[in-house]
């Protein structure tokens, strides 16, 4: 199990992004081709949008005035609503389906973090674990199938899981290594994520009931799949040969893994988080490898042309998810 705040902070340090204590205020946004980038505000300090459904409802998390993380649901009519926890002081929302059901993770009074589901009315349900002490839910599809990762019995390893309806979590195994984590699931229950291999490397995978866990390879050294659409197009990032930089990728059944490039030179970093059925891909890119400026981007068209979505007035921004009509959510510096 990857405790989410730790993962966020480690990723920020790896990317050269300031930590919460250092960075300027950041706000969740929703972007459309017609209206541009709209600030969704916050219920505390900074806020971060993670998912958007077909009707434009947004799920994510915000930093409270006490420094805790709390999940939120944002709607056009109701604005931003705190989704609460399992009795502890931590929760994050990572996915939302078209009926407004939200998934993520939350802490109990004991401090244990479990995968959770919030219904459209805001009720919270503990989804349990694969036998270990912790879990997190990262994605949900239109049928309500949920994926994520959980510690296993004895807390000896963390494995990707698929949960269908009221059934128990299904352990999806690994690519031969010790650990795995699932990030997204499409309507046909194809799952994307990452796993360690028998050699100890980290590789992106796609899992299906028919074929099991398939290694998607890399652009050089390692890879991590973050999103999958209903066409089984997988997106994520891969570290290039030599350990730096990392580039966003698109993997397709027919074409394998393709480097999506960056806004800057070859040394700049980029990452892709989600793709819709139209082939639009949301993510971010550094503008060049010599600075720490990164912007939300979208890749579009058959040539995957990259476009800069700008910011809410600050230096940096990131897009995290995209829906079928091309609405994009993420977060941006506001100062």
pTM above threshold 0.75:
yes
Taking alpha carbons only, the member of 238, 232, 252 closest to residue 304 is: 252
Report which DSSP code applies to 312. Answer: S
- Kindly report the CATH number that applies to the domain delimited by 1-126: 2.130.10.150
Bridge partners of residue 31, in order along the sequence: 37, 328
The predicted-structure confidence for 181-225, as pLDDT tens digits, reads as follows 999 999 999 999 999 999 999 999 999 999 999 999 999 999 999
pLDDT of res. 24: 83
The predicted-structure confidence for 105-138, as pLDDT tens digits, reads as follows 999 999 999 999 999 999 999 999 999 999 999 9
Residue 258 sits at φ, ψ, to 5 deg, of -120, 135
Cα-based distances in Å from 245 to 163, 238, 248, 269: 35, 9, 10, 6
- Would you state the structure tokens that stand for residue 306, as one six-digit string? 């990259």
Report which DSSP code applies to 78. Answer: T
Order of strands, edge to edge, in the sheet holding 131-140? 131-140, 146-152, 158-163, 170-171
pLDDT of res. 59: 98
Tell me the C-alpha distance between 106 and 130, whole Å.
16
Taking alpha carbons only, the member of 262, 306, 303, 305 closest to residue 285 is: 262
Tell me the C-alpha distance between 103 and 65, whole Å.
23
Tens-level pLDDT at each residue, the chain (335 residues): 333 333 333 333 333 334 444 568 999 999 999 999 999 999 999 999 999 999 999 999 999 999 999 999 999 999 999 999 999 999 999 999 999 999 999 999 999 999 999 999 999 999 999 999 999 999 999 999 999 999 999 998 999 999 999 899 999 999 999 999 999 999 999 999 999 999 999 999 999 999 999 999 999 999 999 999 999 999 999 999 988 899 999 999 999 999 999 998 877 999 999 999 999 999 999 987 677 899 999 999 999 999 999 999 999 999 999 999 999 999 999 98
């Amino acid at each position: 199990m990857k405790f989410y705040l730790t993962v966020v902070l480690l990723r920020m340090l790896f990317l050269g992004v300031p930590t919460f204590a250092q960075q300027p205020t950041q706000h969740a946004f929703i972007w459309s081709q017609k209206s541009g980038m709209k600030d969704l505000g916050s219920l505390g300090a900074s806020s971060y949008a993670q998912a958007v459904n077909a009707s434009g409802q947004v799920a994510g998390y915000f930093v409270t005035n006490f420094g805790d993380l709390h999940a939120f649901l944002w709607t056009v009519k109701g604005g931003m609503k705190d989704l609460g926890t399992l009795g502890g002081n931590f929760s994050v929302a990572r996915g939302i389906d078209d009926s407004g059901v939200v998934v993520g993770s939350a802490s109990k009074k004991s401090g244990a973090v479990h995968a959770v589901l919030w219904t459209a009315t805001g009720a919270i349900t503990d989804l349990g674990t694969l036998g270990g002490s912790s879990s997190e839910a990262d994605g949900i599809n239109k049928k309500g199938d949920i994926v994520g990762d959980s510690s296993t019995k004895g807390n000896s390893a963390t494995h990707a899981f698929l949960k269908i309806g009221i059934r128990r979590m299904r352990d999806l195994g690994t690519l031969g290594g010790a650990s795995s984590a699932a990030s997204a699931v499409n309507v046909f229950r194809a799952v994307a994520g990452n796993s360690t291999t028998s050699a100890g490397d980290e590789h992106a995978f796609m899992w299906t009931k028919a074929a099991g866990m398939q290694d998607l390879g890399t652009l050089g050294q390692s890879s991590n799949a973050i999103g999958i659409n209903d066409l089984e197009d997988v997106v994520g990032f891969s570290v290039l040969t030599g350990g730096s930089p990392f580039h966003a990728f698109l993997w397709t059944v027919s074409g394998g893994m393709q480097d999506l490039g960056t806004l800057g030179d070859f040394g700049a970093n980029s990452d892709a988080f989600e793709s819709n059925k139209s082939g639009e891909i949301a993510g971010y890119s550094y503008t060049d490898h010599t600075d720490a400026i990164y912007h939300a981007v979208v890749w579009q068209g058959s040539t995957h042309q990259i476009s800069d979505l700008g910011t809410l007035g600050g230096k940096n921004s990131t897009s995290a998810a995209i829906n079928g009509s091309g609405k994009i959510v993420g977060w941006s510096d506001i100062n």
